[in-house]
Amino acid sequence: MRFEPKCSFDYNQIMVFDEVLVCSSDYSKTKELKEISSVQCEKLRRAEFKKVEFGDKHSDIKKQGNKMIYRHIVFPCSKQIYFLKNLHIHSHFSISSDDIVAFVKDSRMNKIIYELNYYSSYKSYMNDFIVIINYGTKEWTHEIDEYYGKIGHSNLPNLLETYNAKRDAKRHNIQKSFGFSSQSYTTYIESCTPKPRLLKGTLDAPIISLMESLSCLFILLSQKNIFGKDNFNKQNRNLHFSKTISSENIFEGFTICLQNFQDCLGHHIDQNNCRSKEYSGVFGASAILEGKKRTVILGYGKNVALKYCEKLNHKNNCSK
């Protein structure tokens, strides 16, 4: 894809996702990546060829922990929807558009980055790593716009203020999370098994409405086979978690974020996200607002929910 060095909007933050794979010799030792897809195998094969072809450049691959990175650079759009998996493995951050040329140059010099992929504001994308649907493209239909509009992004800054949302010191954005806690537990009476508590405010009407709107948008896109139909769909697990919030909700974790053009999103992974195939996805809907601000709402699965099912010895039930 052709590199586009400029953003087309006032908001100048460009998202970067580092898709991390471990070289084949280390797969047997890797706990995080238990399932190797055919696409991942192909990427590893291509990396091995590159190591042979460009031996000097990649000669110290073992010193870098036998990792390889496919770097995905996503330009902003006024309205944007995206979905990807395993952000507990794949780190992500943002950079200023003023720094993009130098950043790309440095990335090309990096010995463990094997490929750069660019995602324009003017196209939508669907590949094995990420799905991006941008406003103004043919993929952004009237029906999608109608469901997206129910989220009400213009109200999110005031909502964050209502809930006393704080600036995250590591991620450099203002955010507030709802859904199930990763650190606080209550006791499930029937089994005496500690169960994650609901975070404060989760059952408030405005938050439930947002979670339902995001869920309905995700379900709409799944029905169109844009994301596939095997995400967030295990009936028994949902009865224990997402459906206790609302019958229309599919997410176990939910975060509202506000990012301004001055602060880049800090480099991080989402360590509390679920590791299971069906619940490892992160669904985001973002908007660029006046004042060079970007709001994002995120829905995802929580790893504490997976562990809870396992501890309940409902592994068979929770996989149905």
* 98/156 same-domain check: no
- Segments forming the whole domain that contains residue 248: 141-320
Check whether residue 165 and residue 54 sit in a common domain.
no
Nearest to 48 by CA among 26, 28, 16: 26
159, 240: one domain: yes
- Regarding whether 286 and 150 lie in a shared domain, the answer is yes
Same domain, 117 and 145: no
Q: Which pTM value belongs to this model?
A: 0.84
Element (H, E) at 193: strand 193-198
Same domain, 98 and 206: no
Looking only at the bridges linking them, the beta strands covering 67-74 and 113-119 are: parallel
- pLDDT truncated to tens, each residue of the chain (320 aa)? 444 444 445 568 999 999 987 654 444 444 444 444 556 666 665 555 444 333 333 333 333 456 788 999 999 999 999 999 999 989 999 999 889 999 999 999 988 888 899 999 999 999 989 999 999 999 999 999 999 999 999 999 999 999 999 999 889 999 999 999 987 666 555 555 678 999 999 999 999 999 999 999 999 999 988 887 889 999 999 999 999 999 999 999 999 999 987 889 999 999 999 999 999 999 999 999 987 899 999 999 999 999 988 887 544 555 55
DSSP state of 108: H
Residue 103 and residue 195 share a domain: no
My answer on whether 227 and 278 are in the same domain is yes
> Does residue 162 lie in a domain region?
yes
Q: Residue 221 falls within a domain, yes or no? A: yes
Is residue 45 helix, strand or coil? helix
Helix (H, G, I), strand (E, B) or coil at 99: helix
Do 223 and 316 fall into the same domain?
Answer: yes
317 belongs to a structural domain: yes
| Whether residue 63 is found in the same domain as residue 157 | no
251, part of any domain: yes
Query: In terms of domains, do 55 and 12 share one?
Result: yes
The string of DSSP codes covering 106-172 is: HHHH-TTEEEEEEE-TT--EE-SSEEEEETTSTTS-HHHHHHHHTT-GGGHHHHHHHTT-EE-TTT-
Q: Does 320 reside within a domain? A: yes
User: Considering its fold, how many domains does the chain have in total?
Assistant: 2
Residue 281 within any structural domain of the chain: yes
Assess if residue 136 is contained within a domain.
no
pLDDT for the residue numbered 318: 55
Phi, psi of 283 (to 5 degrees): -110, 125
**Cα-based distances in Å from 183 to 174, 186, 197, 240, 256:** 21, 10, 8, 17, 19
pLDDT of residue 26: 44
* Dist. CA 280–CA 303, nearest whole Å: 9
Q: Is residue 226 part of a domain?
A: yes
305/211 same-domain check: yes
